[in-house]
Amino acid sequence: MEFTIRPIKEADRNWIPRFVREQWGAEFVVAHGVVYYPHELQGYVAEIDQKNFLGLATFVIENSACELVTLNSVHQGQGIGTGLVQAVAQRAVLAGCSRMWCITTNDNLPALEFYQKRGFRIIAVHAGAVERSRELKPSIPILGIDGIPIRDEIELELQLHTNSNGPVMITNAGKPA
């Protein structure tokens, strides 16, 4: 499947809330006690053309860290998610970040597999954190993927660096991704 990845444009800010609502059940997401409105964040879009959107990644850069806030692909296994993560990682390196991190929940085994295959490491498990998130977003379901109770937030991290060719995503095994 042919697609391009580009930074979010102002015109995208109109469809992003609808897309996020379809993917996340609301126009906002909650992670580690923070409410995010993805349509207000920096990010990248994967598209076939200006009307066929395949994926979205949003992020926040603070100090030397880039938090990947949302990552969604409408077609799994096509390289969309990987391309979006690479675009965010390159932007993060250019901004001086040494690490990129994200949060997922304990039920999201496909996300845990995806991130770890791309070099992310689990660096923390925040037991019971989803219960606190439900105070901010009551629509978070009790049961998640395959009926697994959603209870904990899992924090993953990817180390970043540059070389003479520009930004490089580095796996924690020390090899370029």
Has residue 82 been placed in a domain?
A: yes
Range of the domain at 116: 4-169
Has residue 157 been placed in a domain?
A: yes
Q: Which helix (H) or strand (E) is 142 found in, with range?
A: none
Has residue 175 been placed in a domain?
A: no
Q: What is the residue type of 154?
A: I
For residue 78, which of 46, 119, 110, 38 has the smallest C-alpha distance?
46
pLDDT per residue, tens digit, the chain (177 aa), is 789 999 999 999 999 999 999 998 899 999 999 999 999 999 999 998 777 888 999 999 999 999 999 999 988 877 999 999 999 999 999 999 999 999 999 999 999 999 999 999 999 999 999 999 999 999 999 999 999 999 999 999 999 976 655 555 544 444 444
For residue 58, which of 120, 103, 25 has the smallest C-alpha distance?
103
Parallel/antiparallel/unpaired status of strands 65-73 and 99-105: parallel
Residue 152 and residue 126 in contact, taking contact as beta carbons nearer than 8 Å: yes
Distance CA 126, CA 18 (A): 29
Has residue 174 been placed in a domain?
A: no
Q: What is the residue type of 1?
A: M
Has residue 18 been placed in a domain?
A: yes
- Spell out the alpha helix ranges (H) of 39-150: 80-94, 109-117, 129-136
Burial 81-120 (b: 16+ CB within 10 A, else e): bbbbbbbbbbbbbeeebebbbbbbbbbbeebbebbeebbb
- The CATH number that applies at residue 56 is 3.40.630.30
Residue 27 and residue 10 in contact, taking contact as beta carbons nearer than 8 Å: no
Has residue 125 been placed in a domain?
A: yes
Tell me the whole-structure pTM to 2 decimals. Answer: 0.89
* CA separation, residue 66 to residues 4, 15, 22, 63, 116 (Å): 22, 24, 25, 8, 17
Q: Can you give the pLDDT at residue 171? A: 44
Has residue 131 been placed in a domain?
A: yes
Structural domains in the chain (count): 1
